[in-house]
Amino acid sequence: MFFEADTKQIEQLSSVQLVELLKRLLLAECRLVDIPLRATTVPLQITVADGGEDGRAEWRGGLGSTDFFPSRFCVFQSKAQNLTETSITSEVLKKPKEGAAKLNAAISQALTKRGAYVVFCSQGFGGQKIDRLRKAVVAAIRRGKRNPSHLKAIEIYDANRIANWVNTHPPVALWLAWLKRGRSLVGFQSHEAWGREDEITNIPWINDEKPRFSSNNIFNVEREPQGSKTELWNFNQAAGNALEHLAKDKAVLRISGPSGFGKSRFVFELFNRQGLLSDELDRSAVIYADLGIVGDEVGKLALEIADSGAPAILVVDDCPDDLHITLAGITRRAGSRLRLVTIDVETKVQDSLVIRLEPASDETIGSIVRAVAPKLSDSDSRYIQELAKGFPKMAVLAARQKGVGRQTITSAEEALNRVLWGKRQRIGEAQKSLEILSLFEWVGLTGQVAGEGKFVAERLGGITQDTFVEHIKSFSSRGVVLKRGDYIQVAPIPLAASLGANRLALLPTNSLVDFFLDATGILRNSLLRRMRWLDTSPKAKAFAQSLVAANCLGNLATINTNSGAEHIDHLVHVDPDLVMITIQRVLGACPSNAPFWTGQPARVVVPMPHG
């Protein structure tokens, strides 16, 4: 077995850990034999008076017993200590301060209901000692003036028996291995261990009820936002439908969405809900696997769990379609109780429930920013919303950098390849096309403005319009290309700035200046608006210096127009000192008695750049 418990692991458990293990085993056993979940109770406050009971399983109808539930009514008492006949007698037969000794409430109820009394002990015993302990319980019941034959069973589950029980439930065995070894096995993690990742531990989960989950199975859902062509679920709707789907054995769920949208966090929170006992059961059944760590082992584990008939939920992150199809086939094998959740950026799978994450709303991004960096100002928060463009990951990066744009863009470079390519083979010409598009805020790609894309592709890329469009559209499923009518944009801004800087470094400054002078006013402004995010690039500053030359923009005739003033205004964000010197030069060349503005005046605004 991948995760095999042994006696030593059980013997090392504290009192609290032993009760937690009992709880997981009771829930898992109920799932295994289809006993209603309300049948089990395990109070974890073990320091309070419990009447001799640490756990209970009770149900009506169906099976009369299971391999580890001797009766339809079972009382469990947990003991993380070595038991003797004397100590177990004192547990069963309680001596009050005054009066005769009485049987504890738990065993009294088990006798009344003709159920079973099970001692759940962390120590390992031989067969003879177990017999002696059982006889001590029988004697104590008689001393309490009750008939021990009214119990269907008296069982002593020692460390050996408990280890055997654990090994029938792989998720419980994995949790125990993580608990005692302090690490995951072969990269597989329990939900609890998964929850210790930095991005889960240190970044609060935001559930603001904004719809951002689309699905191949949405019916009769009120459409939000108004006018949207795609019906969306909010988190509670998505989680409710996903968990309802996963309630059945052999269920397969596929989660997709761009890198940085929060797919893995969504699945973690899916099983982190606290409302119902079924939530707790699902959480304890989770086995999480990052494919980049576990590799080929995930298929072997899936096959082992499926053929064992043990109930489990296998979550596989970064899982491509071909592996998903293989794992789904294993999940649906005869006798399998496995359920499968796979996560990846893009998918063509449609034979199971597929939930896709869409861009987060500005309100959600703002909530993330406030949670990560509560001291940031409202203006900084709005600035980060502009940077993030619906990417929660970018919002976190920016918030951790206190809204400093340059540092956020540098941080984004680290995630560039993962966001764009993931496991796909990198295509140089496709990335070149995306880098060129990243130099602009918006570019017309189709319809009446398709000429913009053609001009950009041919002049800056040396490629045809059709090739350019094909490459750009190939990134749509990665979530980095936004479409607004016939116009298209690379987002989020930190990613676009990194890509734009890469392309800018390869372009001769004079070719970009020539492009600018030949471009339409719309394309010029689009280019300059994106340049504001490239203020650390030497090429961007060289470009700005060429533009403010006296024979280009840096003369009175050009600045004294709306378009010229607007161009100069954009360049403030690239090199404010250069723009100031240029304006002073132009103004200084004017005669003191000459009117400065002619015709309709233009206004040059020189703000301080952000970040």
pLDDT digits (tens, 9 = 90+) for 241-275: 999 999 999 999 999 988 888 999 999 999 998 76
One domain for residues 435 and 503? yes
Q: Which two tokens stand for residue 141?
A: 């019941």
With respect to residue 404, please indicate whether it lies within any of the assigned structural domains: yes
With respect to residue 543, please indicate whether it lies within any of the assigned structural domains: no
Q: Is 243 helix (H, G, I), strand (E, B) or coil?
A: helix
Burial 509-537 (b: 16+ CB within 10 A, else e): beebbebbeebeeebbbbbbebbbbbbeb
- Residues 153-165: what's their mean pLDDT? 95
One domain for residues 422 and 408? no
Residues 6+ apart with CB under 8 A from 479: 257, 258, 259, 260, 261, 345, 359, 391
Burial 380-392 (b: 16+ CB within 10 A, else e): bbebbbebbbbbb
This prediction has a pTM of: 0.72
One domain for residues 221 and 86? no
With respect to residue 176, please indicate whether it lies within any of the assigned structural domains: no
Q: How many residues does the chain have?
A: 611
The residue behind tokens 């008296």 is 154
The residue behind tokens 């570019």 is 443
Q: Phi, psi at residue 225, to the nearest 5°?
A: -75, 165
With respect to residue 538, please indicate whether it lies within any of the assigned structural domains: no
One domain for residues 459 and 605? no
Mean pLDDT computed over every residue of the chain: 85
The CATH number given to whatever domain includes residue 493 is 1.10.10
One domain for residues 325 and 380? no
One domain for residues 433 and 403? no
In whole angstroms, give the CA distance from residue 497 to residue 439: 8
* 45, pLDDT greater than 60: no
Strand 116-121 relative to strand 153-157, pairing? parallel
Beta strands in 98-158 (DSSP E): 102-103, 116-121, 153-157
With respect to residue 330, please indicate whether it lies within any of the assigned structural domains: yes
Task: Kindly tell me the burial class for residue 122, based on how many C-beta atoms sit within 10 Å of its own C-beta (0-12, 13-18, 19 or more).
Answer: buried
Which residues face 316 on adjacent strands? 289, 342
With respect to residue 369, please indicate whether it lies within any of the assigned structural domains: no
What is the total count of domains within the chain? Answer: 5
In whole angstroms, give the CA distance from residue 18 to residue 395: 41
Helix/strand/coil percentages in the chain, nearest 5? 50, 10, 40
In whole angstroms, give the CA distance from residue 453 to residue 247: 49
One domain for residues 226 and 344? yes
Q: Residue 605: pLDDT band by 50, 70, 90 thresholds?
A: very low
One domain for residues 49 and 142? yes
One domain for residues 212 and 83? no
Instruction: Determine the pLDDT at residue 596.
Output: 46
Which residue range(s) make up the domain with 601?
Answer: 548-611
The residue behind tokens 């320091």 is 47
* 218, pLDDT greater than 70: no
Among 1-10, 297-306, 493-502, whose mean pLDDT is lowest? 1-10
One domain for residues 83 and 225? no
